[in-house]
Chain A
């Protein structure tokens, strides 16, 4: 995991008080905003799509200063992430999907990818979009299925995509239109 070395944690990550939710509202708001910014940046850098509240990753726990966010703090921060449109609870207060791009932005990225690979009108499984060779080296590759699905649904509303089912189990497909 050499890429982890590339990531620089902000200054507050080394200050113990930031790992405890502050009682004064103004201070707490600023604290949560800082954590939110860190979470989005961290997840984007490491391509982490889902954060588990119970997971003691380096994001929530700094082993160097022996401090960790407690469960309540993690929930409070993630609730703020969700309410600002940068996250979705996959399981309420347990597992959170992190959207470092919001859904319309993901839809735009998806659209550009379809255009650049001349994949209009091609019936594709959602699975092959995420894991197929066409998406390799792009942001689409390995994207969380929930994000892909929501991005496609967003494009469907704009008339630029159509979701459909095959006859086999798990055969969920999509066609994109110019």
Chain B
């Protein structure tokens, strides 16, 4: 198939059609040259007739004009032949193109068939079947994994929930000590009323009460 893309005409095969074309072109050239000669002859015949008439040779002048008429008919016939040749040349060129197109299409059709022949329908069916099976298998495995994953995920989620709860618990606990010390701070106010029994020692008792508050505070968390 490599030749298809290459240069098949590189060797330059000369076909009979090429020679025929060449001959027609040569023939056309010869006809054109012939016509040129005829036109010169017509011109000469006209001048000859005029000269003879000037010399009063009426019969011979008529003869020359008859000859001229004949030559003129010939040129128009030759003109027609040239046109005909050009027409045929065009037709051959067109036919050659058509043939080349046909050859290329034929070749590409063969190539297409060859490619197609390498693909057997049963094999394709088997292949599609295999692919379907493989897909089913894959789907089943995926499903299993998905189920396993949901069980596992549930467990994990629960564990995470517990962990989160623990975190929340431990996060809440440290708030407790911060709340309680508020109470002991108000507590020391209480003993101040009791030492009124002994006003002299009130100052000392207040100081002792300050210490006493600390002392009283300590057993509380325990």
Chain A bound to chain B? yes
Q: A residues within 8 Å of B by Cβ?
A: 121-125, 127-128, 159, 161-162, 164-168, 170-171, 173, 175, 177-178
Question: Which of B18-26, B66-74, B164-172, B183-191 sits within the interface?
Answer: B18-26
Number of interface residues of B (CB under 8 A): 16
Count of A-B contacts judged by CB separation below 8 Å? 55
Q: A159-B12, A166-B26, A173-B19 are in contact. List 15 more A-B contacts (CB 8 A).
A: A122-B93, A123-B19, A123-B25, A124-B25, A127-B29, A128-B25, A128-B29, A159-B11, A161-B12, A164-B22, A165-B19, A168-B23, A168-B27, A173-B18, A177-B9
B25 x A125 contact (CB < 8 A): yes
B10 x A125 contact (CB < 8 A): no
Check: B54 CB closer than 8 A to any chain A CB.
no
A171 x B10 contact (CB < 8 A): no
Q: Which residues on the A side are within 8 Å of B29 (C-beta)?
A: 125, 127-128
Interface SS of chain B: helix
B18 — nearest CB in chain A belongs to which residue?
A123
The answer to whether residues A167 and B10 also contact, given A124-B25, A125-B29, A127-B29 and a CB cut-off of 8 A, is: no
Interchain CA distance A175-B14 in the complex, whole Å = 8
Minimum distance in angstroms from B183 CB to a CB of chain A: 107
Most buried by B among A121, A159, A168: A168
10 A-B pairs with C-beta separation under 8 A: A121-B9, A123-B14, A125-B26, A159-B10, A164-B14, A166-B26, A167-B19, A171-B22, A175-B14, A177-B9
Q: Which residues on the B side are within 8 Å of A127 (C-beta)?
A: 26, 29
The answer to whether residues A177 and B12 also contact, given A123-B18, A164-B19 and a CB cut-off of 8 A, is: yes
Minimum distance in angstroms from A128 CB to a CB of chain B: 6
Check: B120 CB closer than 8 A to any chain A CB.
no
Minimum distance in angstroms from A114 CB to a CB of chain B: 13
A123 x B10 contact (CB < 8 A): no
A171 x B23 contact (CB < 8 A): yes
Interchain CA distance A168-B21 in the complex, whole Å = 11
B23 x A167 contact (CB < 8 A): yes
Interchain CA distance A162-B9 in the complex, whole Å = 11
The answer to whether residues A166 and B7 also contact, given A128-B29, A175-B18 and a CB cut-off of 8 A, is: no
Within 8 A of A (CB), among B174-204: none
Minimum distance in angstroms from A135 CB to a CB of chain B: 14
Q: Which residues on the A side are within 8 Å of B27 (C-beta)?
A: 168
B22 x A166 contact (CB < 8 A): yes
Q: Which residues on the A side are within 8 Å of B10 (C-beta)?
A: 159, 177
Contact of B26 among A159, A161, A171, A177 (CB under 8 A): A171
Minimum distance in angstroms from B85 CB to a CB of chain A: 13
Q: Which residues on the B side are within 8 Å of A123 (C-beta)?
A: 14, 18-19, 21-22, 25
Interchain CA distance A125-B20 in the complex, whole Å = 12
Minimum distance in angstroms from B25 CB to a CB of chain A: 5
B19 — nearest CB in chain A belongs to which residue?
A166
Interchain CA distance A126-B9 in the complex, whole Å = 20
